[in-house]
Structure 1
Amino acid sequence: MIYQPAGAPRPDDPIDRKDLDWERGSNLNRCHSPQDVDAAFDRGEERVGVAVIALAYNHADTDAVLVRVARGLRSSSPETRRQSLLALMHTARLHGRVDSVTLDLLRELLLDHSPISAGSLYDVRGTAIQTVEDLRVFLPRDQLPAWVNDFNG
């Protein structure tokens, strides 16, 4: 099943680790293994950010998801940072929480004017601003630090 709710029972998934298409990314939305994401980071896979988003959807252990989101937020690739911000939004929406590490990294990315790809008009900061706004929608005020609640992008 593609993009099932976090914690939902998993039907038999025919996608095996060796079958994930890292070259074209055609089925990375089915990624559900933190170990696959770690291995992709270690190999320097260009599309690892897609797998981080999929992990937010497909893996029930929020702590395991947030570790990989944080790793993506630290990436040298602006596109992976952007995709990891999207994964952070989805983690908040689906899992109902984030952590102090990802919030600290989010705050840093509010200063990141790197274009998400060569020649792009969009930068990482724009996605970071949207992430802050989405966290305020998906999480109760008392779960967020004052800087998020008071943010005025």
Structure 2
Amino acid sequence: MIYVAAGDWEGDEVEPIDLDWQQGSNLNRCRRPADVDAAFDRGEEHVGAALIALVHNNPDTDAVLPRVARGLRSPHPETRRQSLLALMHTARLHGRVDAVTVELLHGLLSDGTPISAGSPYEVRGTATQTVGDLTVFLPSAQLPDWVNHVSDY
């Protein structure tokens, strides 16, 4: 991943990178929310990977979290899974999440959709891991009470 050094971030004014959406080979360089929005609008297969990179490369959590929420609502289970990973990384790197993403996370705890055709892994497994990571990386005061009862799922 490419991380932006402190003081280097200039928001969407940063020169755009020609991202390879077909192969997904350089999506780890994604840093502009507008690139992720456009990828969602086009229905790009690798938008989840770009979303994870956005979390790593863009320190503006207020710009990142709405894109994470959009991914958590995706009809594609792999995009939902990658969006859960993006939420984990947001908590770890930026020390916060928001009420919208936490509410969506709660709903995904019962999502038994396989990650891909024939996969034994389901979205809810990643959702459960995400809850565990939030409890590690965020103060309990930032988390709703249901987080303590995830073992019930």
| Aligned-partner residue type, residue 129 of structure 2 | Q
Alignment of 1:131-146 (within 5 A): 131-146=130-145
Report if aligned partners of 2:2, 2:56 keep a CA contact under 8 Å in 1: yes
| Aligned-partner residue type, residue 87 of structure 1 | A
- Report the count of equivalent residues: 148
Report if aligned partners of 1:85, 1:128 keep a CA contact under 8 Å in 2: yes
Alignment of 1:1-80 (within 5 A): 2-4=1-3, 8-10=6-8, 16-17=16-17, 19-80=18-79
Distance 1:84 1:54 in 2: 11
Alignment of 1:56-135 (within 5 A): 56-135=55-134
Report if aligned partners of 1:141, 1:149 keep a CA contact under 8 Å in 2: no
Report if aligned partners of 2:33, 2:64 keep a CA contact under 8 Å in 1: yes
Distance 2:120 2:150 in 1: 23
TM-score computed with the length of structure 2 as normaliser: 0.91
Report if aligned partners of 1:37, 1:48 keep a CA contact under 8 Å in 2: yes
Shift of 1:59: 0.5
Distance 2:138 2:101 in 1: 14
SS in 2 for 1:150: helix
TM-score computed with the length of structure 1 as normaliser: 0.91
Report if aligned partners of 2:16, 2:32 keep a CA contact under 8 Å in 1: no
Unaligned 5+ runs, structure 2 = 10-14
Distance 2:76 2:132 in 1: 23
Shift of 1:63: 1.1
